[in-house]
Amino acid sequence: MKTMTCRQLSGPCDLAHTGTTADDVINAQDKHLKETVKAGDDTHVAAREDMKGRWRKPWAALGWYRDMKKAFADLPENPA
Ligand SMILES: [Zn+2]
């Protein structure tokens, strides 16, 4: 398991997501953005819009996914 924060995933806060793959933390971030915006948090609106755009145009977001996967791969494993 590794940890990536909201901020490391292009978001505005330091909430930590843990997962075994980059997709796990990306999905957790997507859920986190949806929930915070739904709860009325203005600071996450821009990041949420960016994420929505990525799902709509995956080919345009390949660079971002590649960066996130590389960042995840470079992280140390969480202590057990
Ligand atoms: Zn956040």
Q: What's the CA-to-centroid distance between 80 and ligand 1, angstroms? A: 25
Q: What are the CA-CA distances from residue 60 to residues 7, 13, 21, 53 (Å)?
A: 21, 25, 21, 9
Containing 50, the helix (H) or strand (E) segment is helix 45-56
Q: Does the residue 47 lie in any domain?
A: yes
Q: In order along the chain (80 residues), what is the average pLDDT of each group of 10 residues?
A: 98 98 97 98 97 89 95 95
Rounded Cα distance between 27 and 29, Å, is: 5
> Whole domain around residue 44: which residue ranges?
2-74
Q: Does the residue 61 lie in any domain?
A: yes
pLDDT for 58: 82
- How many domains does the chain contain in total? 1
pLDDT for 59: 85
pTM equals 0.92
Q: Does the residue 29 lie in any domain?
A: yes
Q: Does the residue 79 lie in any domain?
A: no
Q: Does the residue 80 lie in any domain?
A: no
Q: Does the residue 33 lie in any domain?
A: yes
Q: Does the residue 28 lie in any domain?
A: yes
Q: What's the CA-to-centroid distance between 8 and ligand 1, angstroms? A: 10
